[in-house]
Structure 1
Amino acid sequence: MTSQRIALITGGNRGLGRATALALAERGVDVVVTYRAGKDQAEEVVESVTGLGRTAVALSLDTAVVAGFDDFTDELRRTLRERWHRDDFDYLVNNAGIAVTAAFADTTESEFDALIDVHLKGVFFLTQKLLPLIADGGRIVNLSTGLTRFTSVGQAAYASVKGAVEVLTRYLAKELGPRGITVNTVAPGPVATDFAGGIMRDDEGFRAMLASQTALGRVGEPTDVGGAIGALLADGSGWITGQRVEVSGGILL
């Protein structure tokens, strides 16, 4: 791995992706953030990373559209050569996501398919497409959810798909181990972002209820998760692979 490390963060324009980009920049890592919508947000992240003394680029990507992955990979390859004079990067954070909240009996096929496309199919085939660009000795972090351990009404489809991501993580860790690439899952608990309509950020009553269920007595902030991802990508964490790391403040222990 070269001395200047580079991370690619999908959905890096807001929420946990943005927090991860900033956490990594503070640790001396350059970043490529992707966005589906929210180009202005992505450019703000680039400015913030630049303000921390690191190099950053924002690229458009819809992780639900596998047909676009070839063009994205070509654009990423060009960007790596032009900005860093490299043909590879070091860290992949599969963060991009969408929310669907519906009781099992009410979940539609289109809602289920949308979750599969972004959270599982997109993660599977984007990672596959990017494998030649990930440096030997690199790291991959996939985002899951605390809801794969505990349950909440309305999250059956979302949690099931994330459970599949956790299984995929273990298989990737096994298959990519010979290249020295580690693969882990970070599973956030309730975090105050705009995800799922921002309920955990904006609804004080809901926040208080969730906080009462955690060992640390509060809802998480994006920096809590960004910091955990940064720790998994740090130099001293290279012996950790195939693991699920829950970042939840100890909810429902």
Structure 2
Amino acid sequence: MNEQTPDQKIVVVTGASSGIGRGAAIEIAARGMGVVITYNARPEGAERTVEEIRENGGTAVALPLDISRSDTFPDFANALARVLRSEWGADRVHALVNNAGFGGGMSFEEMTEDAFDAYYRVLLRGPYFLTQALLPLIDDGGAIVNTSSSSVRPGDTEPGYSGYAAMKGGLVIATRFLAKELAGRSIRVNSIAPGPTRTRLGDNAFERFPEVIEGLAAKTAFGRIGEPADVGKVIAFLVSDDSAWITGQDIQASGGYAL
């Protein structure tokens, strides 16, 4: 069992086997918080995230979670409660980072109901009802961070992303309303909108199609695409008490993409 200090905070980060989730988990742990990371298809990636955190003196454990299966959320909440007790001697978490998801575009003409429903289950319904399921375990004065997307904003309107962006846009609106509704418990709710970031989304698209990177980088103010740590540091800030006066916001973390 990890020894929890009286003021140590524990954060749940979904989809942390790679990419932004891994970057967030590592940066959160570097601030002295314990981390529970979740994975679905890549347990080996989750274990690498845990190992990296532990090698750097942090505490972390991994739990499986399929964000598309809201019927499994009560069991996940129970598993989380057990691991909090066994690993940290705790019964609450300070924050939840709803990061799990998938990318990739599909043109409107090719969109199917099954594909649209998959976006809905993973990108909107999943984080919404996972938050509801875990709400009893979140500290008063805690934080919720939802990963949205720069595609929600004007200026980043690329063909083929109507279904994806619609769900991310719904998550941004839900974030604002939940910030109001949960304010009675002093729980802050924000979303973070990454621009193009080097992740495994889109079936590892950046490794398979490196030629697209130059064009995307040219659309940022800094002339490069984001790295997971770039976004992870902002998420770590949003779950920390340093952001105690920020709620209901969708924060762009994109290096000035599509300004």
Q: TM-score range by the shorter chain?
A: over 0.9
CA distance in 2, matches of 1:71, 1:120: 20
Aligned amino acid, residue 5 of structure 1: K
CA distance in 2, matches of 1:66, 1:195: 22
What corresponds to 2:236 in structure 1?
230
CA distance in 1, matches of 2:16, 2:218: 30
Offset at residue 162 of structure 1 (A):
0.2
TM-score after normalising by structure 1: 0.97
TM-score after normalising by structure 2: 0.95
CA distance in 1, matches of 2:12, 2:77: 12
CA RMSD of superposed structures (Å) = 1.3
- The 5 Å alignment of 1:143-182 reads 143-149=147-153, 150-182=156-188
CA distance in 2, matches of 1:250, 1:110: 34
- The 5 Å alignment of 1:60-139 reads 60-139=64-143
The superposition leaves residues 140-172 of structure 1 with CA deviations (integer Å, 9 ceiling, x where unpaired) of: 000000000121111110000000000000111
Structure 1 runs of 4+ aligned residues shifted over 2 Å read 197-205
Residue-pair matches, total: 253
The superposition leaves residues 199-223 of structure 1 with CA deviations (integer Å, 9 ceiling, x where unpaired) of: 2355333111011111111111111
CA contact (8 A) 2:24 2:231 kept: yes
What corresponds to 1:11 in structure 2?
15
The superposition leaves residues 65-123 of structure 1 with CA deviations (integer Å, 9 ceiling, x where unpaired) of: 01111111111011111111111100100000012411111111111100100111111
User: Does residue 249 of structure 1 match 2:255?
Assistant: yes
CA distance in 1, matches of 2:138, 2:240: 16
In the alignment, which of 167, 180, 190 is matched to residue 184 of structure 1?
190
Offset at residue 235 of structure 1 (A):
2.1
For structure 2, the residue ranges without an aligned partner over 5 or more in a row are 1-5
CA contact (8 A) 1:191 1:222 kept: yes
What SS is found at the alignment partner of 1:86? coil
CA distance in 2, matches of 1:205, 1:35: 29
What SS is found at the alignment partner of 1:104? coil
Offset at residue 225 of structure 1 (A):
0.6
The one of the two structures with greater contact order (alpha-carbon pairs below 8 A, sep at least 6) is: 2
